[in-house]
Amino acid sequence: MSSQRLRLFTFAAPSRFYSLSGSLLPWLWAAAALLAALGLYIGFFVAPTDAQQGESYRIIFIHVPAAWMSMVVYLAMAGWAAIGWIFKARMASMLARALAPSGMVFTLIALATGSFWGKPAWGTWWVWDARLTSELILLFLYLGYIALVEAIDDVRRADHAGALLAIVGAVNVPVIYFSVRWWNTLHQGATITMSAAPKMQGTMLTAMLLLTFAFWAYAFAVVFVRARAIVLEREHDAEWVRGLALPTRVAARTSS
């Protein structure tokens, strides 16, 4: 049991997270670019026209992945914030802070692309149905979390206040997910579920899944970069930070 706990907390040290994330980053960026290129190629040049929606359906290749990421990133953010609070793990709290802006961007993409799709499909840019409204609330939760942690000067208090907000707000994620089942919504129901085969044409589904993985790889990459920035901002007094090499011309510029 204790050896399991050691492994669990190995990368809780900011210095170890910093070096691990640094070595993973090039692979993550490469994976994101490759998967996106492949997914977009299949989406635009292989997947056929939709019988009902014509070419406008091709927005799905970014709309659904972004929406899925907006929910997954929120749960990850709330999870890490909770772990940071419960176990007093600084790195976990830093990860939560790193996740928030990315989750917010995915939520914005989901809302904007959804709006652009809704206009030709439903005749309106917006409707206050359960799915759209709860996704908008998700945006406000992200904004609220970011504003809250930035507003409180004491870093640990800010982390804990943010954790509370993130955890309480997590109830919104199942609401978003089940909204199309619990309420009569203009937004269509689930095409992909855990219980049945996907009701989507093969190449369309392939393209959408490739872009989902591309968004995932991109999210890891950009969240790692942001977490590294936060680590440097918070841990600048640490010995290991002083040990990081910099080219001399940059050092000369910054010391002026």
- To other proteins, the closest distance from the beta carbon of 152 in angstroms equals 20
Handedness of CA 172, 174, 177, 181 (dihedral sign): negative
Nearest one of 69, 66, 71, 95 to 82, comparing CA atoms: 95
Cβ pair 97, 78 in contact under 8 A: no
Reading the block at residue 248, the tokens are 């001399």
Q: Which is nearer to other proteins, 105 or 167 (CB)?
A: 105
- To other proteins, the closest distance from the beta carbon of 102 in angstroms equals 7
Q: Which is nearer to other proteins, 7 or 236 (CB)?
A: 236
Nearest one of 100, 180, 178, 164 to 138, comparing CA atoms: 100
- To other proteins, the closest distance from the beta carbon of 182 in angstroms equals 27
- To other proteins, the closest distance from the beta carbon of 184 in angstroms equals 25
Q: Which is nearer to other proteins, 6 or 239 (CB)?
A: 239
Cβ pair 142, 169 in contact under 8 A: no
Q: Which is nearer to other proteins, 3 or 48 (CB)?
A: 48
- To other proteins, the closest distance from the beta carbon of 114 in angstroms equals 9
- To other proteins, the closest distance from the beta carbon of 216 in angstroms equals 13
| 124 vs 215: CA distance, rounded Å | 27
Q: State the Cα torsion 213-140-138-187 to the nearest 10°.
A: -100
Interacting residues toward other proteins by CB under 8 A = 44-49, 54-56, 58-59, 62-63, 66, 101-102, 105, 108-109, 112-113, 116-117, 119-120, 218, 222, 225-226, 228-230, 232-233, 235-237, 241-242, 244, 246, 250-251, 254-255
DSSP H or E stretch at residue 75: helix 60-86
Q: Which is nearer to other proteins, 46 or 147 (CB)?
A: 46
Q: Is 54 left (phi over 0), alpha (psi -120 to 50) or beta?
A: left
E strands, the chain, where? none
The residue with tokens 């050691």 is: 6
Q: Which is nearer to other proteins, 85 or 218 (CB)?
A: 218
